Amino acid sequence: MADPSLPAADQVLDCTGMSCPLPVVKTSQAIKKIEPGQVLELLATDPGVEPDMKAWSGRTGNELLGISQDSGVFHVLIRRIR
């Protein structure tokens, strides 16, 4: 269930079934296609996505809004900052 305190995603990137580093690579590509201030939701099943996205967002300066898990799928919300 989505957290009502978090913004709705402007775009959803489905990386379920992919393992590291593909979700990070695909996120890097997808975030460039949305406008600054918009939100990307990454769907992934690789448990490594949580530490990977924390590191990636810190490195790139994009805002990690939250990570939740539902039925084995991680929902990662990232706001493009620049």
- pLDDT, one tens digit per residue, over 38-62 is 999 999 999 999 999 999 999 999 9
C-alpha span between 44 and 19 (Å, rounded): 9
- The CA distances from residue 61 to 4, 17, 46, 81, in Å, are 24, 26, 23, 7
**Fold designation for 11-79:** Translation Initiation Factor IF3 (3.30.110)
pLDDT tens digit sequence for 16-40: 999 989 999 999 999 999 999 999 9
Inter-residue contact 50 to 8 (CB < 8 Å) = no
pLDDT at 1: 47
Q: Are 27 and 42 in contact (CB under 8 A)?
A: yes
pLDDT at 2: 54
Q: What is the pTM of this model?
A: 0.92
Choose, from 18, 20, 34, 67, the residue flagged as catalytic: 20
Q: Say how many C-beta atoms besides its own lie within 10 A of residue 4's C-beta.
A: 6
Q: Is 20 a catalytic residue?
A: yes
Domain ranges, ordered by start, for the chain: 11-79
